[in-house]
Each structure stands twice: as structure tokens, then as C-alpha cells.
Amino acid sequence: MTSMDARSSSSIQPIIEAKHLRKSFGSFTAVDDISFTVPPGECFGILGPNGAGKTTAIRMLYGFSPMTGGTLRIFGLDVPKDIRSIKARIGVCQQENNLDPDLTVFQNMEIFAGYFNLPRMLSRERAESLLSFIALSNRRNDKVIELSGGMMRRLVLARALINSPDLLILDEPTTGLDPQSRHQVWQRLEELKKSGLTILLTTHYMDEASWLCDRLIIMDHGRILVEGPPAELIRTHVGHDVIEVAEPAPALLDFVAGMNLEYENLGHRLIIYGNNRDVLYHEISAHCSHEGCILRMATLEDVFLKLTGRELRE
């Protein structure tokens, strides 16, 4: 990057600037001093186990939940002071569908457009074009209650775009969808990204985060553990390859313990992280049966599990 590039990129107004953000419920701190910045056009992910504080964090962004501490600026405007102007420029897909089940698909779009005081003609035009975008035009007159879960999720996405937002906030946009519906939603989000829209999303699907996010944070217990592009996080925290050995024999455990390797011994399974896949695999597989030894590329899920642990959250 030249000094000129550095100057111009640093002068670009971020879409989101969160500094030392905190949220407490009584004596419990759900979001504990998190800071992050999202520049225009980026897809930014917030990952974390159940209860990590993801939804609480993003609810503060769209003014649903007041902050306990820190500062938050969106489009350079102050939360909560300028929240009305901010809300007019953001689209939100909450975790729950919150559609009106007794109204039609089109009526749901129209009613939502009403919250933004869009002229009637414009809102109808936008509703039609967004329904076509998410492939629901042919269901426009059906009641929401008659739609499948995947269709409802797509409708929630379309509805969040009715005000042509500058920032789209998605809380688990594809949870509960079948692979086809998830891929359809991803494709639409890719198109929105290409059009320059800034997107912030939470997800439990690591493939979704790897596919869509330019950068992400992994949170746990209200704090940020790591931040970066998915590929960089994988490289830094896991390496290129993972070798998994089922039911590792004591001799293999001794061998691995004697090498300068990062590994996790789960008892029934040994997970070895590293690079130099061929050499490593050759050496490890010499100590176990080939069927029980798998070599694969490291993924974001490896990073997630390595950093947040493997215990179930209450």
C-alpha cells in the first residue's frame, strides 16, 4: 500500500465504529468491552458459541437494546442520539421471523415499507422487485402462514431491504434452512455484497462465515477472542492441515507428544494441527491404521473449536 493509499483508506468513513461496547443485565455482563470497525462494502461476521453475546451486541447497533457503556457510531452518527436517522438507513433481519402470518407476502412487504414513510408507488415497486430478487413473486398473494420456513427467511431478507439500506444486519440469516435454501440466501447476499452493500451478520455456520465474510470476530463470554479475515485466522491459529486419528494408540500419543506439534487429545480422537501435510501425514499414519487416520484442510470450524472449546454451553 502506498502512503497515498494509506491516507485515503484511513480517511474513509467507517460504517460501524464500536469502541469499548458494554452491555450488562443486572450484575451479568453479556457484552464486555468489545471494539470493532466495519468499513463500507465489507461483510463482517460475529461468531461465537451460544450465549457469547452476539445478538446482544448487534441489538445495540440497531437501537433495540440500550448500551451500558462505550461509544457507537454508525455512518458517523451517534448511537443513541441519532438513532432515528441511523434506523432509516439500516435493514435488519432478526433471529425470529416476526412476519405477520395472516397477511400475504406482498402485504407484509407493504406494511413494512410504511414504517419508512416511502411513497406508495415506490414501496410497491420495491416490494415487487425484491420479491423477484428472492424468487417469491409467484407467492406474493399467499398468506405467510402458507410458506415454508425457508421462504419465510427469504421474505424477511427481502423485507429488510425495502428501504434500500446502506447497512444490512443479519442475525443468523440461514438458521434452520435446508442446504438449497441456504445456498440461495448466500447467492443473494453475494449479489448484495457485489453491489457495495455493507453487511454485518452472526452465524453458527462456519462455511457461511468463510464464504461470505471478508473479516470476522469470534466472541466468547462477551469478549472478542480474535479478529481477522477467515483465511488469515485459519493460517494463524491452526495452520494449513489437520490430521485426525480415531482411537489413537498409546504409541502414537507418545510419538506426537515428543514432536513439536500442536494437538488436542479428545480421548477417542486425536486432532493434530500443522503444515507440511505430506511429511506429517506420512509420519503419523506410520503409527496407526490408515483407515483411522484422516488428512484434511484446516477450516474455520477448527479455529472456532480450538479457541472456544468443545464443551456444551448451557
Nearer to ligand ATP, 56 or 123 (CB): 56
Alpha helices in 89-195 (DSSP H): 105-114, 120-133, 149-160, 179-194
Cα dihedral 143, 115, 154, 199 in deg (nearest 10) = -170
**Interatomic CA distance for residues 21 and 70, integer angstroms:** 4
Peptide bond into 173 cis (omega under 30): no
Query: Taking the complex as a whole, how short is the minimal distance between the CB of residue 51 and ligand ATP, in angstroms?
Result: 4
CA-wise closest residue to 167 among 186, 192, 148: 192
Nearer to ligand ATP, 51 or 228 (CB): 51
Nearer to ligand ATP, 59 or 215 (CB): 59
> Are 295 and 241 spatial neighbours (Cβ–Cβ below 8 Å)?
yes
Query: Taking the complex as a whole, how short is the minimal distance between the CB of residue 190 and ligand ATP, in angstroms?
Result: 24
Query: Taking the complex as a whole, how short is the minimal distance between the CB of residue 152 and ligand ATP, in angstroms?
Result: 18
In the complex, the residues that contact ligand ATP under the rule CB under 6 A are 25, 30, 48, 50-56
Q: Whats the size of the chain, residue-wise? A: 314
Nearer to ligand ATP, 30 or 200 (CB): 30
> Are 193 and 178 spatial neighbours (Cβ–Cβ below 8 Å)?
no
Nearer to ligand ATP, 32 or 110 (CB): 32
Query: Taking the complex as a whole, how short is the minimal distance between the CB of residue 24 and ligand ATP, in angstroms?
Result: 9
Query: Taking the complex as a whole, how short is the minimal distance between the CB of residue 61 and ligand ATP, in angstroms?
Result: 12
Instruction: Give the phi and the psi of residue 54 in degrees, each rounded to 5.
Output: -65, -55
